[in-house]
A and B are shown apart, each in its own frame.
Chain A
Amino acid sequence: MTEVLRVENLYKTYGYKRGYLIKAVDNVSFSVNSGEVVGFLGPNGAGKSTTIKMIVGLATPESGNIYIMGQDIKKDRESAMKHVGGVIENPDLYKEWSAYDNLMYLKSLSVSKEDKNLSFKERLEKRKAEVIDILKVVGLDSRMKDKLGHYSLGMKQRLGIAQAIMDKPSLLILDEPANGLDPAGIKEIRDMLRRCAADLNMGILVSSHQLAEMELMCDRFLIIDKGRIISERNTSDLHNGIQVDGQNRSISVRVDRIKEAKVFLEELLGIEVEVYGDTLKLVTEKDIPYINKQLVLADYNVFGIEADRASLEDEYLKATSSPPKKT
């Protein structure tokens, strides 16, 4: 696993407002590895866009370093950008041109080392083939000669992603990639990004407010608020159950003779057990197979036993203490 992006102590302010220094991004550090999809979450104005803009060179940090594939963007932005594809804020392309013309133009601005040895005609043919291929991947090949002015937002999103991935970058940065897409479109984008990470080994940084979608798409999350990274979690950690503290996790048990079972478990585990309808809730360091075995040995009928899973939404709300604003 290669580190495709490393951000170190990024800092940027937006001047003073009513005597207070507005810190847009305050000492932010994180990294993205190849083959990994990282979600970048936070309320509006938390510093997501500013951080992303600094990573791709659209804004300049006051201090801190950004390395893309080990290259410092301050020293050689052009070389570093060869490894980056992205859609920042909106998939804005030339609306008076067709999808094909847009991609042909953008593709022509990055000639790879191998292509430099080809003749002009060969290079053009290769470019055409690659553009048509990528348009097929995003399902726009049948409308590729239509001007973008006639495209729906969803089609523009797909085209934006197409231009971002067409050079097979090591780092893909997407800002709200599922905006304006219908459920089928959202699934398509999710599958496409997962494929990019798995098959092409891209490291992907995605910013979005669609928490449920991000939970399905991402391997890891960074939550930023007031310019600081306030939480960093792996999706697998969320799915392994709520970590109440370092060792204990929350477990739900559905069992018959619920009042007796409550007393049995309290005596067995030395903890307090709560009753919620037909379910017992307990917080323990013991694992599920152990609890299940003890209940069965004590002749209880166990209908269900599982670790309580935290959703990304829970995690997000806990971290930011406020619901995300809709965009």
Chain B
Amino acid sequence: MFNNLFLGELKKSFGKVFHLVFGLFFILVFALLTFSIHEMNEQLNLLDIPPEEDGETFTEEQVDLFILITETQIEVLEKQKKETGFSWYQSNYDQIYLAKASLKYYNYIKDNEMYGIPIDYYAGMDLSGIFMSGGKVTADGYIVQMLAIISSILMIYGIVIASGSFSKEYREGTIKILFLRPITRTKLLISKALSVLTLSSIAYVIGFILSVILGYSLFPTEYKDIIFSFGGGAFNLIRSDFQIFIAFFVYYIEMMSMIFIGFFMGTLLRNRIWGIVIPMLLSGIGQFIIYTGLARFFITDALNFSQYVGLHPVVTAGSNIFLSLGIYLFYMGGMAILTYFSVTKRDLA
């Protein structure tokens, strides 16, 4: 019976015109971007630019010096912070966090005695450095860029579907027929959430597969070893194309979180428009307060996990991975609980 409920929810999501228009838009964006990036590479080929040298090389003395400088920098910054206290209006990047991450990076080189070896670093989701070779976009670079764009487009698609999942049933009165069937409201809620998850995931995976096929057939492949960090804490030496998978999950979580904010809001307020507007509004507010101390407590900043997967993290001031995780769980969990009670306990007007 749950299968039927789930399949029914999938069927309901398929408004033919909407999917046709959206599918065409998606293909158009995909084709135009691929064409323009490919064309840019072709133009650069004509210029015959010599390939860039791979990464940076360090001597033992250099590394020791950098460690000393960075340790001093941290001391100064922490002293400054103690004296001035927390500022509500400041740079959006946490200077202390950044310095600590750099220190760990140099210590990693020292511990592994990686002297005289060209080392690349991966700077968050800043793709311009690592994924371009000789100024040209590589297959990895193309795929990660496409993932960023696909996730943004599908976020809108998912929010439109998710926000209407319950609210449309409330507006059109079909919810009464469903509530009269011998199914629990919890099962209905789960099946709706799963159908939103499934549809958005399928679309994202299709986009990913397409970009992988196009990336590896149209763009040059060049692998480098890069130092990767997670949350400014764990460091590892990985091959550059591994970043594709990191990007896949980071963008997926970000996209799905925004879609579910749309789902929760549309359901809670029983209104599709609010379900669409609120995630957009949150993004806007997130951008607006990024230079204030409030940003770290805000959901859009917390779900931006890309800030924690690079050597040079652009972590929001005063934040860290645990705070972001906590804030993320607080907001998403809170909305999920409220939505659950709204669906299962609230009266139908």
Contacts and interface: CB of A to CB of B under 8 A. Distances in A.
B288 to A, nearest CB: 37
Given A92-B172, A92-B174, A94-B12, A81 B181 contact: yes
A94 B174 contact: yes
Contacts of A110: 1, 181-183
Contact of A58 (B5, B8, B179, B183): B179
Interface in A22-63: 53, 56-60
Interface in B96-114: none
B180 interface: yes
A78 B172 contact: no
Contacts of A96: 15
A146 to B, nearest CB: 16
A81 B180 contact: yes
Contacts of B174: 92-94
Contacts, number: 65
Contacts of B1: 108-111
A84 interface: yes
A301 interface: no
A166 to B, nearest CB: 11
Contacts of B345: 60
B181 A106 contact: yes
Contacts of A108: 1, 4, 8
A157 interface: no
B172 A77 contact: no
Contacts of B177: 92-93, 106, 163
Interface string B167-187: 000001110111111111000
A94 B168 CA distance: 10
Contacts of A82: 182
B182 A105 contact: no
A88 B172 CA distance: 13
Query: Does more than half of chain A's interface fall in helix, strand or loop, or is it mixed?
Result: loop
Given A60-B345, A105-B8, A92 B173 contact: yes
A94 B11 CA distance: 11
Interface string B181-207: 111100000000000000000000000
B176 A78 contact: no
B347 A109 contact: no
B181 A59 contact: no
B180 A77 contact: no
A110 B184 CA distance: 11
A210 B293 CA distance: 64
B348 interface: yes
A89 B175 CA distance: 12
B176 to A, nearest CB: 5
A94 B169 CA distance: 9
A236 interface: no
A86 interface: yes
Contacts of B178: 109
Nearest to B8: A105
A195 to B, nearest CB: 22
Nearest to B3: A108
Nearest to B1: A111
A227 interface: no
B181 A109 contact: yes
A78 B4 contact: no
Contact of A79 (B11, B15, B182): B182
B179 A78 contact: no
A74 interface: no
A85 interface: yes
A60 B180 CA distance: 14
A159 to B, nearest CB: 11
A89 B8 CA distance: 23
Contacts of B11: 105
B184 A59 contact: no
A109 B4 contact: yes
A165 to B, nearest CB: 12
A109 B182 contact: yes
A89 B177 CA distance: 11
Contacts of A85: 180
A82 B11 CA distance: 24
Contacts of B4: 105, 108-109, 111
A240 interface: no
Nearest to A110: B182
Contacts of B15: 96
Interface in A204-247: none
Contacts of B182: 78-79, 81-82, 109-110
A204 B12 CA distance: 31
A85 B181 CA distance: 8
B12 A89 contact: no
A77 B184 contact: yes
A105 B182 CA distance: 13
Contacts of B176: 58, 88-89, 92
A89 B347 contact: no
Contacts of B184: 77-78
Nearest to B346: A60
Nearest to A12: B347
Contacts of A86: 180
Interface in B1-60: 1, 4-5, 8, 11-12, 15
Q: Which of B4, B8, B182 has the most CB of A within 10 A?
A: B182
A92 B168 CA distance: 12
A95 interface: yes
Given A93-B174, A109-B182, A110-B1, 9 more contacts: A59-B348, A77-B184, A81-B182, A89-B176, A90-B173, A94-B12, A94-B172, A95-B172, A108-B4
Interface of B: 1, 4-5, 8, 11-12, 15, 172-174, 176-184, 345, 347-348
27 contacts: A53-B347, A53-B348, A56-B180, A57-B179, A58-B348, A59-B347, A77-B184, A78-B182, A78-B184, A79-B182, A81-B180, A86-B180, A88-B180, A90-B173, A92-B176, A92-B177, A94-B172, A94-B174, A105-B4, A106-B181, A108-B4, A109-B4, A109-B178, A109-B182, A109-B183, A110-B181, A111-B1
